[in-house]
Structure 1
């Protein structure tokens, strides 16, 4: 947080190179979030680049009262939502691999992990856009309810309700269709 404040100050003072630190810190997380929204690697890459340009141009509007990460995500997600409204991105199912290592001596474990990941991606993709975004921000980006509320500009109760509804829909789908997610079907 302290580094971010310093980098913002440096950029605003004219040191454009300091912005590279901000990009390097957030590019992977932002790309992962946007990829899960668009399900298209090229669209996600384009949106991340556009989002960083928009953040740069609006850096003077960051008021430092909230977290920089929350502000950056709000600007980026709002930009994506605007683009979604302008044109519907073609969604293509892509596999998003975990960065966790798997013992290569056990190919059946690798297969099961990939299949579970694919099924979870499909479950999340069935949710309405706002619920899908809240799930991704909470569980992929590990944001707090308060940060999500701030980012989406909705009350904390709305975040909790939408998160609860999204998990219930996912549980209902698992109960109806079966699959790997026993913890979901048991109310977990």
Structure 2
């Protein structure tokens, strides 16, 4: 449903939350392994979604689902990192190993994983860390601008552009390496 079909922004937000709440909870709980922390992460994610509600074009679209799940995932990862830091434990810069571990517990189909990419490209993308993968998928799979991606991921547009450039270069290296291995 398009935002124009709702009488108020409040009814749009309510419909969006009702549509995605179960999967938002699954994503957050899969990362945090704690129901209360997952609830808090979903609440924080909803605040970010509300601040960017203008980016919602159709609550039933793949673009909207990816928008919602990316915000929830990154919010939960931020909570996880903060918790680890508070506990004085070492946190790695590459959270992708952790995210891959939780893949067994979460139905990642809710992420609309193909973003319009072929199966082969999905395999290449899986070799990237989560942040780079998110940036490439949001840019090329969902047509988000640097500014929109920056708001979603808490980065400046210039940082998004640099990260996107590096991610594309890394992706090209992965594709070339795989091509050489198969050829």
What TM-score does the superposition give when structure 1 sets the normalisation length?
A: 0.51
Within 5 A, what are the aligned runs for 1:73-112? 75-82=71-78, 85=81, 88-89=98-99, 90=101, 92=103
**Residue 160, structure 1, aligned to residue 153, structure 2:** no
Aligned CA distance change for structure 1 residues 130 and 75 (closer, same or farther; 3 Å): closer
Q: C-alpha distance in 1, partners of 2:125/2:7?
A: 34
Structure number with bigger Rg:
1
Q: C-alpha distance in 1, partners of 2:122/2:80?
A: 19
Listed as ranges, the gaps of 5+ residues in structure 2 are: 32-37, 57-63, 85-97
Q: Which residue is equivalent to 2:124?
A: 123
Q: Which residue is equivalent to 2:15?
A: 21
Report Cα offsets for 1:91-119 as digits up to 9, x if no partner: 5588877698xxxxxxxxxxxx9xx51x3
Q: Give the drift of 1:166.
A: 1.0
Aligned CA distance change for structure 1 residues 2 and 72 (closer, same or farther; 3 Å): farther
Q: C-alpha distance in 2, partners of 1:74/1:98?
A: 14
Q: Give the drift of 1:82.
A: 2.6
Report Cα offsets for 1:16-52 as digits up to 9, x if no partner: xx65521366x4xxx6xx9xxxxxxx95485698565
Q: Give the drift of 1:4.
A: 6.7
**Residue 7, structure 1, aligned to residue 37, structure 2:** no
Determine if contact 1:145/1:160 at 8 Å carries over to the other structure: yes
Q: C-alpha distance in 1, partners of 2:179/2:73?
A: 32
Within 5 A, what are the aligned runs for 1:56-75? 58=47, 62=50, 67=54, 69=56, 75=71
Determine if contact 1:54/1:75 at 8 Å carries over to the other structure: no
Listed as ranges, the gaps of 5+ residues in structure 1 are: 11-17, 35-41, 101-112, 180-188
Aligned CA distance change for structure 1 residues 138 and 80 (closer, same or farther; 3 Å): farther
Q: Give the drift of 1:135.
A: 1.1
Q: C-alpha distance in 2, partners of 1:62/1:44?
A: 19
Q: Which residue is equivalent to 2:138?
A: 137
What TM-score does the superposition give when structure 2 sets the normalisation length?
A: 0.52
Q: C-alpha distance in 2, partners of 1:153/1:121?
A: 25
